A = this chain, B = another copy of it.
Amino acid sequence: MLHIIVSAAVGIIGLIGVSFLVRGILKADPGNELMQKLSKSIQAGARTFLLTEYKVVAIVVILVAIFLSLAPFFGQGVQVNWQTALAFVVGVCGSALAGWIAMSIATRTNGRTTQAARSGLGRALNLSFSAGAVTGLSIVCVAFLGLVIISLVFKGKSVIVNGYAMGASLMALFARAGGGIYTKGADMGADLVGKVEEGIPEDDPRNAGVIADNVGDNVGDVAGLGADLLESYVESIIATLAIAASMVLISSSYRPLSYLPFYLASWGIISSLIGIAWIKGVRIKDPQSRLNSGTYLGAILMIAGSFFIIRYLGIAYENYSVLGPFWAIIAGVISGLVIGEVSVYYTSSKYKPVKDLANSCQSGPAVMVVSGLALGMHSTLIPVVVVAAATLIGFLVAGMYGVAIAALGMLSILGITLAVDSYGPVADNAGGIAEMAHLPPEVRQVTDKLDAVGNTTAAIGKGFAIGSAAFAALGLMTAYRATINSLSSHPFSLSLADPKLIAGLLVGGMVPYLYGSMLARGVGRVASGVVEEVRRQFKEIPGLMEGKGRADPSQCVNIAAQGALKNMMLPGILAIIFPIGIGFFLGPVALGGFLVGSLVTGLQLGIQTANSGAAMDNAKKYIEEGNLGGKGSYAHKASVIGDTVGDPLKDTVGPSINILIKLMAVISLVLAPVFVIFH
């Protein structure tokens, strides 16, 4: 029970930290009337979207909950029932709540950050980072507290607790896919009419699509990213718990293995809080160094603390040393940092890859796009090797349990890493508001500086999201294997000699491609809808172009929201149906192969699309800074096309694939008892 009490206390401490941060933000000056109005429209748009999204998701959630509740009718001995369904619903609500808090604060901080930027970089950074910290902490604490409650109520029974993770995962899928289609559909739609057809600048209030574009940053990069990492976080814990549960069946002396995740996660929250306090308090001028120092502090604290926790629990199992899990945690933390740094190398204009890419723009858009795609493909090398190595190390030092605990190590300090990652969209919005409110150029310079740092942290965040997704999925697969073997009288071998496994691998490898293609098409459809509406307003609203009439951004917001939700349904449902279908018809072995197959291609595709897109974006910015002829040059035109190709890749396809592989793995884990009965 001690682990539950400690966890609950830490979760509450974290939320108290959130309330302090929120108070600090709300005290700040919200700026002049126009700025407040702009901030409010963004807020209203984001709220509209999330509410609509939650309504749509509710239908799917109810259907899935009914399905889970009916599971006992599939056969005798199936342990999945209404309790799993309940945990599932709690998981959905937890993720939705955390996303709502993050979005509400982010959209309230954007205008205040603009105002703070009038009195200098330091204050603006402080404020926007506070919003990031609220996102990071509230997501981690809400998710963790929910898990603690479910564990307490249902006495830690894996088959029920897993349902909680499945809920978080399903919500994440729709948040990421819907948010991704929304943000890029609105972005492309607004640009295609505004910049290309009418020749007015970006973020111009005459363009009815501009607010939708700014809303997109919040629903995609704040709520979407948050839900994604919340899912990874929850799953890394429950995967460890599920493996521990299967080991407890062997010997009850292994029980402390299922306490360890709670202690580690609790300490991770404390480490994050200290790191956040450090960033807010320290006097380092350079924003990037300031943020980095906090992250590294958190990582060091985490590693040091976990040493003592693991020694104190002192669990020796099989042939592994007591400190085995500690080494696994180090492997996890370090590989998370390495993957982030590799993303920066491939996507920052400071380094060779993006510079070369910018050079290739001189040979025209086609060469640029091919080079950008090739860059992303090349960037998969190190992250994949790092994930493979960490998996090997985790197993070597602590067995199956070690693989899961490496994932947990990577994600334990999510509070601080997510805080750093998600301050970017706030800074981005702040810049947009500065532009729309016609503030002096110095303000924009400050927000631009913050935004540039935000781009780098966003790249790290994306790398981290993919790496952690791979680890979480590996942990879930390990848990899946342990579960099917603990449930069945005949062990499943999951050997490559089994053609069902091979068939599963091949089909699983195809799903990320199919899913990605559906999302990419969705973005295209939403963009056309926004284009038509913006065009209509320019035509029908008298005096709009001359600045006399007023554009109605709410129409575009609605179109983007409806379109995003419509286009996320089919891929979302496929992600649920595929693993269930494979599990029922081809059995648990094929499903095991299917999950691994989806991980193998999903990891590649996720890294490639994220890095290709970010690199093309930054190559464009590099040219816009005045290199290679600057704005308006032939190279610049090519880079704009490349950037537009990269946008849906990096912000819609790539991030959603992380969730796809996790969701399919967690569904398989939850329904494993059903599939085992059938085969």
Provide the residues of chain B in CB contact with A518, threshold 8 Å.
Answer: 374, 378
A559 within 8 A of B: no
The reply to whether B641 and A377 form a contact with Cβ atoms under 8 Å apart is: no
In the complex the two chains form, is B369's CB within 8 Å of A645's CB?
Answer: yes
- A358-383 interface mask toward B, CB cutoff 8 Å, 1 = contact, 0 = none? 00100111110111011111101100
Determine whether A250 belongs to the interface, using a CB cutoff of 8 Å to chain B.
no
| A388 smallest CB distance to B (angstroms) | 4
Chain B residues with Cβ under 8 A from A474's Cβ? 502
A384 touching B507 by the CB < 8 A rule?
yes
Q: Do A592 and B496 form a contact, CB below 8 Å, given A514-B380, A528-B363, A641-B366?
A: yes
Separation of A384 and B377 alpha carbons in the complex (Å): 21
- Collect the chain B residues with CB atoms within 8 Å of residue A597's CB: 600
Chain B neighbourhood of A501, CB < 8 A: 496
- Does A132 make an interface contact (CB < 8 A)? no
Say yes or no: is A520 at the interface (Cβ < 8 Å to chain B).
yes
A44 close to B (CB within 8 Å)? no
Closest B residue to A640 using CB positions: B366
Determine whether A26 belongs to the interface, using a CB cutoff of 8 Å to chain B. no
Which residues of B have CB within 8 Å of A17?
none
Query: Interface majority SS on A: helix, strand, loop or mixed?
Result: helix
- Contact yes or no, B506 A600, CB < 8 A: yes
A381 in contact with B510 given A374-B521, A604-B601 (CB within 8 Å) = yes
Question: A178 vs B503: C-alpha distance in the bound complex, in angstroms?
Answer: 32
Check if A144 is an interface residue, CB within 8 A of chain B.
no
A523 within 8 A of B: yes
B-contacting 9-mer, from A86-94, A106-114, A275-283, A389-397: A389-397
- Pick the contact of A503 from B192, B391, B481 — CB < 8 Å? B391
Q: Complex formed: what's the CA distance from A657 to B499 in Å?
A: 23
Q: Within the assembled complex, what's the spacing in Å between the Cα atoms of A394 and B513?
A: 26
A495-B493, A517-B378 in contact; A392/B600 too (CB < 8 A)? no
B645:A381 contact, CB within 8 angstroms:
no
Are B641 and A365 neighbours in the complex by a CB distance under 8 Å? yes
A648 on the interface (CB 8 Å rule)?
yes
With A505-B600, A506-B387 as known contacts, state yes or no: A369 contacts B369, CB within 8 Å. yes
Residues of B within 8 A of A592 (CB): 496
Complex contacts, A596 vs chain B, CB 8 Å: 496, 502, 505
Assess the B392–A503 pair: CB atoms within 8 A. Answer: yes
- A506/B388 contact (C-beta < 8 A), A192-B363, A481-B496, A597-B600 known: yes
- State the CA gap A500–B392 with chains docked (Å): 6
Contacts of A364 in B (CB 8 A): 192, 196, 641, 644
> Which chain B residues lie closer than 8 Å to A508 at the CB level?
600
Question: When each residue 47-75 of chain A gets 1 if its CB lies under 8 Å from chain B and 0 otherwise, what string results?
Answer: 00000000000000000000000000000
- In the complex, the answer to whether A375 meets B517 with C-beta atoms within 8 Å is yes
Closest CB of chain B to A369's CB: distance in Å?
5
A188 to B601, CA, bound (A): 30
Report the separation of the CA atoms of residues A608 and B374 in the bound assembly, to the nearest whole angstrom.
15
Q: Does B370 lie within 8 Å of A523, measured CB to CB? A: yes
**Are B370 and A604 in contact, CB atoms less than 8 angstroms apart?**
no
Whether A374 touches B603, Cβ cut-off 8 Å, given contacts A496-B593, A499-B391, A499-B395, is no
A510 near B604 with CB under 8 A, answer: yes
Q: Taking A370-B648, A524-B367, A645-B366 as contacts, is the C-beta distance between A378 and B514 under 8 angstroms?
A: yes
Contact A524 B370 (CB under 8 A): yes
Residues on the B chain within 8 Å of A500, using CB: 392
Smallest CB separation, A325 vs chain B (Å): 15
- B363, B371, B387, B494: the one within 8 Å of A521 (CB): B371
Most buried by B among A366, A385, A394, A507: A366
Contact status of A366 and B644, CB under 8 A, knowing A513-B604, A524-B371, A600-B601: yes
Q: Contact check, A370 vs B520: say whether CB atoms are below 8 A apart.
A: yes
* Chain B: minimal CB distance from A439 (Å): 31
- Indicate if A497 sits at the interface (CB-CB under 8 A): yes
Chain B residue numbers with a CB within 8 Å of A385 are 507, 510
- List residues of chain B with CB within 8 A of the CB of A388: 502-504, 506-507
In the complex, A527 has a CB within 8 A of chain B: yes
Known: A502-B391, A506-B600, A506-B603. A380 touches B513 (CB 8 A): yes
A509 at interface, CB cutoff 8 A: yes
Q: Say yes or no: is A156 at the interface (Cβ < 8 Å to chain B).
A: no
Is A15 an interface residue, CB under 8 A from the partner? Answer: no
Cα A385 to Cα B392 in complex, Å, equals 31
- Distance, CA A644 to CA B500, complexed state (A): 40
**A103 on interface, CB distance cutoff 8 Å:** no
The 8 A-B residue pairs with the shortest CB-CB distance, nearest first, are: A366-B644, A377-B517, A395-B499, A509-B600, A388-B503, A374-B520, A378-B517, A384-B510
16 sampled A-B residue pairs with Cβ under 8 A: A188-B367, A192-B363, A365-B641, A366-B642, A369-B641, A370-B523, A371-B521, A377-B517, A384-B509, A403-B499, A495-B495, A496-B496, A502-B596, A505-B596, A510-B604, A601-B604
